[in-house]
Each structure stands twice: as structure tokens, then as C-alpha cells.
Amino acid sequence: MRILITGGSGFVGRLLCQRLHRDGHRLLVVSRTPDKARQHLPAGSDIRARVLDFSDESPEAIVNLAGEPIAGKRWGKAQKTRLVESRLTMTSELVTLCQRMPTPPGVVISGSAMGYYGDQGQNEVDEQTPPNDEFAHRLCAQWEAAAREAEHSGMRVALIRTGLVLDADGGALQKMLPPFKLGLGGRIGDGRQFMPWIHREDLVRIIEFLLERESLDGPFNASAPQPVTNAEFSRALAQHLNRPAMLPMPAPVLKLALGEMSRLLLTGADMRPRRLEGAGFTFNYPTLDEALTVILGR
């Protein structure tokens, strides 16, 4: 297939492009810096700066992963605007491209996140759980609504609400490893908040699964079937590194340093991939211990 990908040079996008290229698909990648992106993507990838630059290519499927990193900067008013606009602008351009095509793509797979549900405390969460209204939820809800505009052109739209993506060479784990390797890691706040997580390989497999299954649409929780609390995650990571996890980060300190963005770390959701498992998807890394063993090699 001709597959148009936004965010193709990112942490998840790089591995996705490698797998799709390996399987013989033709890659059409949107990147604001095409020359830089070529250094990370498979040879032969068609890389252009804007979505509408691909008007002549008639992609058969779209994977939309682009967006300003949500934890990149403190959530001031301007940063909140950037977080929303970076997702809505790209997604709206994809819908516009599809509307201009004589034969629209068969499927759009669009990113979302566990933040859709907001703070859920200790409640078990599936795709039907009502969200808690806060900024992270509103951001994801607007992003999903923009993607679902493609349904008006007859396209199948699947939304992936991702957990914390784990692998060795990027993402949140790369930032967590230095202090934990020094024995300076620990739980955040009281550590009772859930941290839905997923191995990067399983996330890429989910995207491939949704590309192939023509009957699947709507939201899917893209996280491992065995979520853990922050305290459990911290203990497991420390044990795999043979280090203590004795230095918790107090919630008031985090709130002072990060403001509203601290909610990303101090709250969570016990998110379960109910729809994916019901559709027959099997995780290669269902437990955190299995994931950390292969990532850390210990």
C-alpha cells in the first residue's frame, strides 16, 4: 500500500516506517525537516514538508502520529495553544487532502493518548469509561474529533489512545534511566496513580493490526493488559537496574516546578485494552517485567 505517515521520524514513527518498509509498503512521510528525516527513515521513503504536497500520490492509508510533545514544556497559555494547534492543524490538513482525492484512503489511524480519560483514580478504565474533564482530556477529545471528520468522506477511522511508550532509545524511559541508574529514582507523589504503558514494538504491531482489520474503527486503548502504579513501575525499574528506589518526588515540589503539567505525573488511569483483546490482538509484552527484561537486557 501507499501509506501516508505524519510523525514518521519520531520515536514511534521510526520503528513503524522500518516495519512497513520491510513489508513492502510505499512510505509517504510528512516532515517539517525532510533532509533531517531522511537520516532516520528507510531508503526510498518519499518525504515532503506538507500534507498537501502529497495531493498527487493518492495514499491508500494514513497514519497520523504528529504533535507537539505534551510533556516538553510547562503548560502556559501559549504552550497549551501550541499543543492543541499542532494536532488539529495537521489532522485537519489530512482530512482536507482526503476530501480532495477522487478515491479517498480506506483508513485513517490517528493518535490520541491515555490523557483522554483524565484522572480516573483507582477505577478500571476501558473505551466506554466517561472521561474526567480537564486539559489533557479536552486536548485528546479535540484531536479525535478532528480525525473523525474523515468519516464523512466514507473512511474508516481508528483512534489509538496510547499509554507510556517504552523502549531503549527514546521516549520517557530514556529520560528516567539516568537518575535510576544512579540510585536516585523513586515514586512520584504517593505512587498510587496508575501508569498505563506499552512496549514500542507492541504499539507498532497495533497500528499494523488496525491497518489490516477492515472491520475495526473508533477508539482503542493502546496499552499493555497489565498496567501498574507509579510505585510499582519505580520498583520494577530499580530492580532491573540493581539499584535502590529510595528518593520519592514529593507532589508539592512537582506542582511548584511544573504547574498544571504535574497532573500528567501525579494522576493516571487503570487503562485496559479491552477492544483490542476482544478483536484478537495478542501482546508480545503483556507484563512490565517482560518489557523491561528485553529493553534493558537484564
Average pLDDT of the residues in 9-17: 94
CA dihedral 291, 136, 261, 249 (to 10 degrees): -40
Q: How far lies 23's CA from each of 19, 42, 137, 208, 292, in Å?
A: 6, 12, 35, 10, 27
Distance from the first to the final alpha carbon of the chain: 38
Work out the pLDDT band at 74, boundaries 50, 70, 90: confident
Work out the pLDDT band at 298, boundaries 50, 70, 90: low
Please check the confidence at residue 192 and state whether its pLDDT lies above 70.
yes
Cell 488511569 sits at which residue?
269
Q: How far lies 133's CA from each of 42, 99, 122, 147, 193, in Å?
A: 41, 32, 17, 20, 17
- Enumerate domains of the chain plus CATH numbers: 2-165+196-224+269-283 (3.40.50.720)
Q: State what percent of residues in the chain have pLDDT above 90.
A: 81
pLDDT digits (tens, 9 = 90+) for 212-265: 999 999 999 999 999 999 999 999 999 999 999 888 998 998 888 888 888 888
Please check the confidence at residue 281 and state whether its pLDDT lies above 80.
yes
Average pLDDT of the residues in 57-84: 89
Average pLDDT of the residues in 62-69: 91
pLDDT digits (tens, 9 = 90+) for 108-162: 999 999 999 999 999 999 999 999 999 999 999 999 999 999 999 999 999 999 9
Cα 144 to chain center, whole Å? 13
Please check the confidence at residue 270 and state whether its pLDDT lies above 80.
yes
Average pLDDT of the residues in 36-40: 90
Q: Bin 94: left if φ > 0, else alpha if -120 < ψ < 50, else beta.
A: alpha
Mean pLDDT score of the chain, rounded to an integer?
94
